Amino acid sequence: MTQVNLDYLFMPRSIAVVGASADPTRIGGRPIRSSLDAGFTGSIFPINPKYRQVQGLRCYSSLSEVPQAVDLVVVALPARYVPEVVEEASQVAARSMVIFSSGYAETGELGRIAQAQLVAQVAATEMVMLGPNCLGVINASLGAVASFSSAFESGPIRDGNVGFLCQSGAFGSYFLTLARSRALGVGLWAATGNEASLSSADCIEYLVGVDEIKVIAGYLEGVQDLAQITRALQMAHEAKKPVILLKAGRSAVGSQAALSHTGAVVGDDGVFAALLERYGAYRARDLEDLLDLVEACSLGSYPRGPRTCLMSVSGGAGIIMADAAVAAKLDLSEPEASVQRELKEIVPYASVSNPVDFTGQFLNDPSIAGRFLERLASSEQFDAFVIFLGHTAALNPRAQEALETIARLARRDQAKFYLVATISQEMQDVLREAGVVISTSPTAVVALIAEMIEIRRSLESPLQGAPKHLSAATRLEIAATLARYIPSELLEDADARKVLGSIGIGVVISIPAQTPEDAGRIAHALGFPVAIKITSPQVSHRSRAGGVRVGLMSASEVQIAAYEMIGKVAARVPGSHIEGFVVEPMVGGGPEMILEARRDSSYGPVIVARSGGVLSEELNDAAMAMAPASKVHARRLLGNTVVAQSVRASRFEQDYSIEPLVEVVVNLSRLLASVPSICQVKLNVILQPRDEAPVVADAQVRLCADGALGENSFSPTHEGS
């Protein structure tokens, strides 16, 4: 959708409300009253054959009576009347529509059919449509309110440099209400509802192109078009505009609620997080975090680095902030010795390390805080300052001197300033105009600094390009191996190793055996110790089915283990056909890592990494990345696992490195991105000491079913699968 087309929706010069109400509290009356109260200077045309006048404006019986072409038509009628309104709007050359009406995809199969018909009808016109089942759009600078949001009951929305989009109108209204309480200006706002035509990604793209918007934020329940949201996030990153999103549907219950709310298919929550990370966007933890981040970005409060000075009127608050700063990995270096001496001259009994406690003497002499801050800031040693004044600033009128000092330094210095205090609205406005972030939570504001540093680094860092797909020759080689398998089938061990070998991933030698006796002879030839695994197309997780034995030291042990496995597998997986066994040499080495490449229904090919071994399920440290992944993405992915963190902390007796595993992740991601018929690859990888190549102890490759995805879970234990 072009920027010009969406201008009619977001920046209308005329609004027609079909289903207009004389009652300003009703859905058809709210857009009119709110626009009038907000000072909309364009034309408003109420449409309702029951009235001659609505809220002081002439009312028309139909759109065809309106004396001019309308930029934006708001439909506030039940769904059964919508097709007629769309037809008439098209005939009078209306340019855009907002459809409040519910009863579409969010209601089930019949609603999805009705929504598809609506989309087809609008597509045959030149109009753009937002909705249905949405709360509309707001342009605070124009005073254009094509919405029935209750947020306007407390007065007009403050204009500002924030653009906000949401798939839940009620949630978006609450955001507006909380933003007003913080004096946070929201210039453009859109509630997208079912996104039958225009999507959240369309809104992000549009906001990127609006010069006045510097921060893009939103609430999402699901992503409909991966390519479109990717493009939108890339555009925002190129424009150096932060995108901060709060996404619902982390749990299965939440995902189902989203489906019934707006018809959104949520997709894997972990993959969504990986998507945002890859394309430079940021995910808020909750609503309060979203508001904090949006406000700080709106004020441009991006610290250059982690060097943070904590200042407090209360020793206890300083300790609390220090604990939070350590958890957030901020740098709490002490002030320079000369600075500490000068601070001691001001208050001899003050604590002048970091945190700096200028004590309750502030109540007697409020200039102390400003003098401390002035001296600390002049050293240029810190990137950020957190000043805790608590309620004392409100109790002492003379504290305004300290607040004015903070504002002056914030305008002058490169460091960023964060105030924790309760102060008057007048002083809040002065400080925010100077770029000072104001909070009432000492721990939240410290965590916010770490988040703002991360956002700044993301905005300043170029997006990492993905590696090239596999060559045509390699793809042909793999296709020849896969040709004899049917959809959803698991490849035999030999073919799985062949496919992986073609992309440079070697799997430990595995020799097939038809009988327990064959297995014993093969084991004797290989040398002990060995592992033996059962082969059956019906058994995808062999260790759970009792089909894996390790550490066997003789041919007789192998034969006995093979017969025992036949009985266990038959009992645990009834109807399974046991084709034989594979015998493998035992692999020594260090920590284990589980790698999985699979296809997500909403986001496409992804890579999952998590710590392996006997504690794999208990650790629950799965990390995800989009595929194909670059080396930078692979390092970041692996670094989020407990195994990688332990290796970096030198907690193992031998010196292991994660770096050799990076290439495995890159190649595995290229395989899934290049060969669409492969649905899932699972590897159990054992790190080797002294930067040797990691050993793949076990591997599975599964083809995609027709129109379906393979299973998404993989939880092998130390024995392999």
Residue 327's CB: how many other CB atoms inside 10 A?
Answer: 12
pTM of this prediction? 0.83
Residue 613: pLDDT above 80? Answer: no
**367 backbone dihedrals φ, ψ, rounded to 5°:** -70, -15
Host H or E run for residue 683: strand 678-686
Report, as an integer, the average pLDDT of 599-607.
Answer: 86
Report, as an integer, the average pLDDT of 252-257.
Answer: 43
Environment class of residue 635 by beta-carbon count within 10 Å: exposed (0-12), middle (13-18) or buried (19+)? middle
Q: What band does 474 get if pLDDT is binned at 50, 70 and 90?
A: very high
CB contact set of 141 (below 8 Å; sequence gap of 6+): 159, 187, 212
Helix (H, G, I), strand (E, B) or coil at 298: helix
Sole residue written with tokens 């038809």: 514
Residue 227's CB: how many other CB atoms inside 10 A?
Answer: 9
Query: Cα–Cα distance between 541 and 631 in angstroms, integer?
Result: 30
The pLDDT assigned to 650 comes to 61
The pLDDT assigned to 258 comes to 40
pLDDT, tens digit, 9 for 90 and up, residues 330-361: 999 999 999 999 999 999 999 999 999 998 88
Query: Cα–Cα distance between 269 and 607 in angstroms, integer?
Result: 14
Two tokens, residue 471: 């060559």
CB contact set of 460 (below 8 Å; sequence gap of 6+): none
pLDDT, tens digit, 9 for 90 and up, residues 218-243: 999 888 888 899 999 999 999 999 99
Residue 671's CB: how many other CB atoms inside 10 A?
Answer: 26
Q: What band does 604 get if pLDDT is binned at 50, 70 and 90?
A: confident
Give percent of the chain with pLDDT exceeding 70. 92
Taken in order 78, 80, 86, 91, the sign of the CA dihedral is: negative
Q: What band does 527 get if pLDDT is binned at 50, 70 and 90?
A: very high
Residue 69's CB: how many other CB atoms inside 10 A?
Answer: 11
The pLDDT assigned to 617 comes to 64
Residue 395: pLDDT above 80? Answer: no
Render the burial of 525-558: b for 16+ CB within 10 Å, e for the rest: ebeeebbbbbbbeebbbbbbbbbbbbebeebebb
pLDDT, tens digit, 9 for 90 and up, residues 46-59: 999 999 999 999 99
Give percent of the chain with pLDDT exceeding 90. 69
- Cα separations (Å) of 631 from 39, 48, 279, 560, 670? 53, 61, 15, 45, 12
Question: Of 387-401, 529-543, 549-563, 585-599, which one has max mean pLDDT?
Answer: 549-563
Sole residue written with tokens 């595929």: 627
Q: What band does 401 get if pLDDT is binned at 50, 70 and 90?
A: confident
Residue 30: pLDDT above 90? Answer: yes
Q: Domains in the chain, start-ordered, CATH in brackets? A: 3-298 (3.40.50.261), 308-460 (3.40.50.261), 465-505+587-721 (3.30.470.20), 509-586 (3.30.1490.20)
pLDDT, tens digit, 9 for 90 and up, residues 77-104: 999 999 999 999 999 999 999 999 999 9
Q: What band does 717 get if pLDDT is binned at 50, 70 and 90?
A: very low
- CA angle (170, 206, 33) in 5-degree steps: 45
- Cα separations (Å) of 504 from 134, 193, 674, 685? 50, 47, 15, 14
- Cα separations (Å) of 11 from 3, 42, 142? 11, 10, 7
Question: Of 222-231, 535-544, 574-583, 639-648, which one has max mean pLDDT?
Answer: 574-583
Host H or E run for residue 75: strand 72-75
- Cα separations (Å) of 414 from 66, 292, 376, 446? 55, 21, 13, 18
**Peptide bond before residue 689 is cis, with ω within 30 degrees of 0:** no
Two tokens, residue 301: 């409060």
Residue 255: pLDDT above 90? Answer: no
Closest CA to 674 of 610, 597, 608: 597
